[in-house]
A and B are shown apart, each in its own frame.
Chain A
Amino acid sequence: MSKDFFLKRYWKMLTTPAGKISMGVILAFGFVAGIIFWGGFNTGMEKTNTEEFCISCHEMEDNVFEEYKATIHYNNRSGVRAVCSDCHVPKEWTPKLVRKIQASKELWGKMTGKIDTHEKFVAHRREMAEREWARMKANDSQECRNCHNFDYMDFSEQSARAMESHTKAFLGTDKMLPTGETCIDCHKGIAHELPNMHGIEGW
């Protein structure tokens, strides 16, 4: 047996039933290891959701983060904030995992220096913005609605114009069905500068 190739030896060990260890020990070990790996995985993924992690790349810190600092989601009267991941990463586990896997493309961009200067960033702004608009349109602006819940909006507290638009979009009137527009259809560029908006619907 000792003459076998080492991989074969390990394979035999893994496929042979455990002779000396009790079922309880195996279960307990599996349980603890499960907690450590699963918890560790989620904690690690949550770490990549922090603002510190996002702006550890200068592409984020010098461009989008600077622009965001002047907006209401960073600085406002009540001090409630929405950080990068609140808007750009879904909260539910599966969509979050999908988004994180897609984000590996951004690592490639980082390595190849796709937007490593402000000029390059501005040149690619429209393309990046359109991708994000499409994502938010597709999930009915889920990340906006995580905080701005339509069901609890008091339209009477809104300006007449906002009330009218929100009614048309979400509720419809006697004469028309709801248009089905979602937050991002009107509220673009609320946390970052807009790209050239030529040809964008509504502009």
Chain B
Amino acid sequence: MTDQEGGDTAMSQPMTLRNRLSLNNIRWVKAVSKGVMTLLVSTMVSMTAVAETGGIDSLRTIDLSVEPPAEAMKKVLESDTTFHRDFIEQPPLIPHDIRGYTVNKDVNTCLQCHSWKNASKWGATRISVTHFYDREGKQRADVAPNRYFCLQCHVPQADTAPLQKNNFEPVDSLK
């Protein structure tokens, strides 16, 4: 008896929910324009796509609920010269390891060599003059605060293959 009742409620609950949803839908169709409906449908479609990947390729190949084995650490590419740039205004890559470098309000290890004052002593690349302009375009006496945190734009390059094949080509002037 109790089993029967339990089964009944389990069956009837989604039915009522579905009924309620469809009722709501009918009300909405009457009340609001078709645009809202398309929005709803598209959101639902995209939600299912995320859950099952929907046949779309993803960089993540492992089930999210399983902890994947850790990848080996990548070595940093080091060079005595600079790396070429792929697009104009690309922040140049850092051609050396930066383990233990500190950039905070007290000290900036990068500028120990790359500041205008010290660059020639170390044979390092000087930071460009653009770093002296603040966001209002006003020239400052030293590196502008919004350009002080080097690693926001400049990064070392790991010695690794691209995750995804791509056909990007630099403009002719940078080839």
Contacts and interface: CB of A to CB of B under 8 A. Distances in A.
Interface of A: 70-72, 159-161, 164-165, 189-190, 193-197, 202-203
A72 B106 contact: no
Given A70-B100, A71-B100, A161-B123, A197 B80 contact: no
Given A72-B100, A203-B112, A194 B122 contact: no
B102 interface: yes
A202 B112 contact: yes
B107 interface: yes
A68 B122 CA distance: 26
Contacts of B105: 196
Interface string B77-105: 00010000000000000000001101001
A197 B118 CA distance: 14
A202 B106 contact: no
A194 B100 contact: no
Interface residues of B, number: 12
A159 B80 contact: yes
Nearest to B78: A159
A196 B104 CA distance: 9
Interface in B109-148: 109, 112, 118, 122-123
B120 to A, nearest CB: 12
A74 to B, nearest CB: 11
Given A70-B100, A161-B80, A196-B106, 13 more contacts: A72-B100, A159-B80, A161-B122, A165-B122, A189-B102, A190-B100, A194-B102, A194-B106, A194-B107, A196-B105, A196-B107, A197-B107, A203-B112
B119 to A, nearest CB: 12
B102 A193 contact: yes
Contacts of A195: 106-107
Contacts of B100: 70-72, 190
A159 B58 CA distance: 41
28 contacts: A70-B100, A71-B100, A72-B99, A72-B100, A159-B80, A160-B80, A161-B80, A161-B122, A161-B123, A164-B123, A165-B122, A189-B102, A189-B107, A190-B100, A193-B107, A194-B106, A194-B107, A194-B109, A195-B106, A195-B107, A196-B105, A196-B107, A197-B106, A197-B107, A202-B112, A202-B118, A203-B107, A203-B118
